[in-house]
Amino acid sequence: MRGGLHLRFLIGMLATLLLVLGVMGGVWWQQRAAAREQAQISREAMHQMAFTSMERRGEGLANLLADSLVNPLYYFDMVRIGEVVRSALQQPDVMYVLVFDDQGRVVHDGSHDVPDFGQAMDDPLAGAAVESSELKVQWTDRQVDVAQPIFIGDERIGGVRVGLSSAGMATLERDAVATLSQRSEQAIQRNLLWMAGLFGTLLLIGFAVSMLLSRGVLRPIGELAQAARRMEAGHFDLKLDSQRNDEIGDLIRAFGRMGDSVSRHDRDIRRIAYGDSLTGLPNRLAFRELLDESLQKTLASKAELVLMFVDLDDFKRINDSLGHDAGDEVLGQFAERIRHSVHLGGDQDAVVARFGGDEFVVKLGGPNVRDAAAHVAEAMLAELQQPMLLQGRQVFLGASIGITVCPQDGQSSSVLLKNGDIAMYQAKLAGKNCYRFYSKAMDHAVGRRVQIEHDLRGAWDRGEMKLVYQPIFRLDSGQLVGAEALLRWQHSELGIIPPS
């Protein structure tokens, strides 16, 4: 067995080295392809950037010249026009600057004698430049031509054309691409050498590890693997010990201690995850699992099940006035009273859980569950009639209880919990310290209240709020002594909404 592990180790290492070699080859090939693609993208990007730069430069120069030539062209100031044009011609890559009138005839080209003065521009780009009423950019193989009309108010009096040579930009672009390609190839060669060195190092490390492998390492690893499988299956009572004084012996003993620790932690985690530390009752997670299991059995046997949602009335007042410690004590006493009330109901399979905060849930089964639930609810309310002693003071509390029945009201835990919460809310609306059974009409009431709350948010902006005045009279004389101003809501569909 140990020889087999050794052989498998060697085969695995060889396969790993071959895989690494293949991966490195693939990475190198991918790098070459990526470098080529990057070079192509860079060429295209630089080409685009170069021509975009030329285009923007031409547009800027044409706009500047158009602004500068408005008055000189309007007053036909040839001297000033010539100065402006010659100044532009001195800039790099500017091949020509032509100022033309509204008929497309040359007014000035920057020369001193202007040989084409008064002649129509006849180059291939002239027609579009003259006809355009806005900035016009045209390209040829050698240049970019930018034409900008010149206006006085709304009247077009002419225009200016600027021609920029693309030869210099193309030379810079070729030089940059050549430099980029050279550096990319150098980087690929460096990566190839680095990968070769890395593979050689891995080969030496693998050979050294295989030489150091011995039977004294393989057997303890097998034992630890077996122990790990037992722990995975949930058997934490491991008996691992070793007389070895090396690292393997330390590992075996540490693994044994870890098994003991995991066993203790598993017990603690289960207790924490499924129990409420304050009341000792199952928590929300545990109750949901128990409820799902009970629902499956109930539906399979076509029986009934009751879910009771219990919420302490005015519990926040206890926390605010007496402190959270007093609130925790109230929850503990209340949980005990719920347990006692459920015990009086006689259902041995009943479950009481703390659902969160001051909310508790009770699951009841058996025959006549509706009557049993009503009996338990009345017992709870009667228990709460007795005062609680907190910090030497008597405190009276009530509870609102919502009751829902499976399968009549729902057949899933989420639906039953929602319905129980709705019924509990209706009990609070009914004055608290009472219980209510869920009915589908409650869904409509809740939906109507939500809709009214939604409509109320925009009532002021829609002008639905108005003032009314209620007179105040003296009882002895009937004399009007004042009035009470009241704000009322005139709903567009429901009419006057009462404050209640």
Mean pLDDT, rounded, of the chain: 81
Quick: pLDDT tens for 138-185: 888 888 898 989 998 888 889 999 988 877 777 776 777 777 777 777
Q: Where residue 13 falls among pLDDT bands split at 50, 70, 90? A: confident
- Mean pLDDT computed over 410-428: 89
Q: What is the pLDDT of residue 2?
A: 47
Pairing state between β 480-491 and 465-473 = antiparallel
For residues 36 and 489, the model is more confident at 489
The amino acid that residue 184 corresponds to is: S
Residue 34 has pLDDT above 70, yes or no: yes
Residue 105 has pLDDT above 70, yes or no: yes
Distance CA 236, CA 468 (A): 76
Q: Where residue 310 falls among pLDDT bands split at 50, 70, 90? A: very high
Quick: pLDDT tens for 244-301: 777 777 777 777 777 777 777 777 777 777 788 888 888 888 888 888 988 998 888 8
**Looking at 70-79, 273-282, 415-424, 447-456, which range is the least confident one?**
447-456
What domains appear along the chain, each with residue ranges and CATH number?
215-273 (1.10.8), 284-454 (3.30.70.270), 465-497 (no CATH)
Token output for 281: 């009752």
Residue 323 has pLDDT above 80, yes or no: yes
Environment class of 475 (CB within 10 Å of its CB; exposed 0-12, middle 13-18, buried 19+): exposed
Q: What is the pLDDT of residue 81?
A: 86
Q: What is the pLDDT of residue 1?
A: 42
Q: What is the pLDDT of residue 402?
A: 93
Structural Rg of the chain based on CA atoms: 45
Chain-centroid distance of CA 395 in Å reads 46
